[in-house]
């Protein structure tokens, strides 16, 4: 392996490890939420809000991320955002009320929005011809992070009896990872991705881009996909514990089962989308999920074996996920505007995540878990409707030389 290739591999490995912590910092709340609600005397509305409030920060920082990257560079953006979301994860563990927990989660999101845009911009710029596959590999780090963080957080909770310990452990881990990130990214990929941070766009051109049918449909796809994914990932463990009376370890294991097949299927689906287009796989992860969601919230068929099967099927059908949406939107623009396109897609996606917790929490409080699931079915059907009007555009980005 050439020295330049070895440096790139080390840089990408460091990024991928950090992205696993990024995922863990988002979704460990789901593993400890019930205990957090009990100690802080939170309602289901506040529980749902705290589980997804990081999305508010991500929405805000995602809108600014492409300008931040252009101003201070990818490396500085990655380092500052990693330190920010890790530090506020630690501070979440010190929360004593719904208010300070909410503030900490919003601040976690402020760091994560810029991180996410910078992270996926790297892969979109470096690998234009295999963007789907590489976005799938990059996205698998998010899934892998959820996969191991849920049982780890549950184990820490079980051993310590405190919901606070997982926040301390994962937050400090992110702070520590700033050192290897600094040592590997600059020599490994900084020069290679520089051309992808130099794009300029006038206000009229930006408005035209935002009004483009494909861009608008991508935002709708991202929003409704995020509502479904965010609700299932953040609140389904609470449903399993509250309605089906599963223990904290078993409920977290079900979420991990859901992610296992996604981890395997995602690179295959994304690689096929490079060859055959994104649209067939947008259908796969939308219209086919709607009836499955109905079954997932029927307590009469909620034995552990059936639940594990349903979670596994959901994991396969949803395996395209955010990387598929992102690959599609990055195909629409020249290489210099990939950070901007990534910023737009991320903003829409995390707006959906932000809405998912409070909406589902309110519906559960009003009509119960079973009836609230019809909201998720509607979201997946809306996702499918948006996919129908997508017009694919490929080959407009040039490879990095």
pLDDT single digits (tens) 74-83: 888 999 999 9
At 119-172, the pLDDT tens digits run 988 888 888 778 888 888 888 898 888 878 888 888 888 888 888 999 999 999
Give me the sign of the Cα torsion angle 371, 375, 377, 378: positive
CB of 326 within 8 A of CB of 137? no
Residues in contact with 17: Cβ distance below 8 Å, sequence separation at least 6, in sequence order: 141, 177, 180
Give the pLDDT confidence score for residue 84 in this predicted structure.
94
* Token output for 154: 């549950």
Count CB atoms within 10 A of the CB of residue 294.
Answer: 14
34: nearest Cα among 23, 21, 50, 19: 50
Where does residue 298 fall: left (phi above 0), alpha (psi -120 to 50 degrees), or beta otherwise? Answer: beta
For the purposes of burial, counting CB atoms within 10 Å of the CB of 205, is it exposed (0-12), middle (13-18) or buried (19 or more)? exposed
Report CA-CA distances (Å) from 291 to 12, 86, 374.
38, 37, 10
Report CA-CA distances (Å) from 104 to 88, 94, 101, 117, 128.
6, 10, 5, 21, 36
| For residue 326, pLDDT beyond 80 | yes
150: nearest Cα among 166, 137, 135: 166
9-13, 26-30, 392-396: which has the minimum mean pLDDT?
Answer: 392-396
What is d(CA 304, CA 240) in angstroms, rounded to the nearest whole number? 10
Q: How far apart are the first and last CA of the chain?
A: 18
The whole-chain average pLDDT of the chain stands at: 82
What is d(CA 373, CA 353) in angstroms, rounded to the nearest whole number? 16
Give the pLDDT confidence score for residue 399 in this predicted structure.
39
What is d(CA 197, CA 165) in angstroms, rounded to the nearest whole number? 38
What is d(CA 204, CA 334) in angstroms, rounded to the nearest whole number? 17
* Token output for 304: 């552990």
At 95-128, the pLDDT tens digits run 888 888 889 999 999 999 999 988 988 888 888 7
pTM recorded for the entire structure: 0.75
149-158, 215-224, 311-320, 333-342: which has the minimum mean pLDDT?
Answer: 333-342
Give the pLDDT confidence score for residue 12 in this predicted structure.
87
CB of 362 within 8 A of CB of 378? no
55-59, 188-192, 198-202, 376-380: which has the minimum mean pLDDT?
Answer: 198-202
* Token output for 349: 């996606």
What is d(CA 66, CA 64) in angstroms, rounded to the nearest whole number? 6
Band of the pLDDT at 400, cuts 50, 70, 90?
Answer: very low
Average pLDDT for 313-341: 82
Give the pLDDT confidence score for residue 397 in this predicted structure.
42
Give the pLDDT confidence score for residue 346 in this predicted structure.
83
Band of the pLDDT at 302, cuts 50, 70, 90?
Answer: confident
At 231-273, the pLDDT tens digits run 887 788 888 888 888 886 787 777 777 777 888 888 888 888 8
| For residue 187, pLDDT beyond 60 | yes
What is d(CA 47, CA 225) in angstroms, rounded to the nearest whole number? 21
Band of the pLDDT at 50, cuts 50, 70, 90?
Answer: confident
Band of the pLDDT at 395, cuts 50, 70, 90?
Answer: very low
| For residue 197, pLDDT beyond 70 | no
Give the pLDDT confidence score for residue 108 in this predicted structure.
94
Average pLDDT for 31-39: 84
């Amino acid at each position: 392996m050439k020295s330049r290739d070895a440096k790139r591999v080390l840089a990408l490995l460091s990024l991928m490890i950090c992205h696993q912590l990024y995922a863990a910092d988002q979704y460990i709340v789901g593993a400890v939420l019930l205990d957090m609600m009990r100690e802080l005397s939170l309602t289901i509305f506040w529980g749902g809000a705290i589980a997804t409030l990081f999305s508010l920060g991500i929405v805000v920082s995602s809108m600014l991320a492409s300008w931040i990257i252009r101003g201070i560079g990818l490396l500085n953006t990655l380092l500052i955002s990693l330190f920010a979301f890790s530090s506020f994860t630690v501070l979440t563990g010190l929360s004593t009320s719904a208010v300070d927990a909410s503030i900490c989660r919003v601040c976690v999101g402020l760091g994560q929005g810029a991180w996410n845009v910078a992270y996926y911009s790297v892969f979109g710029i470096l690998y234009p011809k295999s963007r789907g596959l590489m976005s799938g590999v990059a996205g698998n780090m998010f899934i892998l992070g959820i996969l191991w963080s849920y049982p780890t957080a549950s184990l820490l909770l079980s051993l310590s009896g405190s919901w606070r310990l997982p926040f301390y452990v994962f937050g400090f881990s992110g702070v520590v990872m700033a050192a290897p990130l600094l040592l590997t990214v600059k020599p490994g990929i900084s020069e290679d991705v520089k051309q992808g941070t130099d794009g300029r766009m006038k206000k009229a051109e930006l408005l035209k881009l935002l009004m483009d049918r494909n861009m608008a449909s991508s935002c709708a796809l991202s929003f409704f996909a995020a509502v479904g994914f965010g609700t299932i990932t953040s609140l389904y463990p609470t449903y399993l514990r509250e309605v089906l009376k599963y223990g904290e370890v078993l409920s977290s294991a079900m979420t991990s089962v859901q992610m296992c097949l996604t981890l395997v299927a995602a690179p295959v689906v994304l690689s096929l989308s490079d060859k055959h287009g994104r649209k067939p796989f947008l259908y796969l992860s939308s219209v086919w999920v709607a009836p499955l969601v109905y079954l997932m919230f029927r307590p009469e068929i909620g034995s552990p074996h059936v639940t594990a099967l349903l979670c596994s099927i959901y994991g396969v059908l949803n395996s395209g996920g955010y990387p598929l949406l992102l690959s599609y939107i990055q195909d629409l623009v020249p290489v210099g505007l990939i950070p901007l396109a990534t910023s737009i897609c991320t903003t829409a996606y995390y707006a959906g995540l932000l809405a998912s917790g409070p909406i589902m929490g309110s519906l559960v409080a009003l009509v119960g878990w079973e009836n609230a699931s019809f909201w998720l079915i509607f979201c997946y059907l809306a996702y499918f409707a948006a996919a129908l009007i997508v017009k694919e555009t490929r080959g407009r980005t040039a490879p990095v030389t």
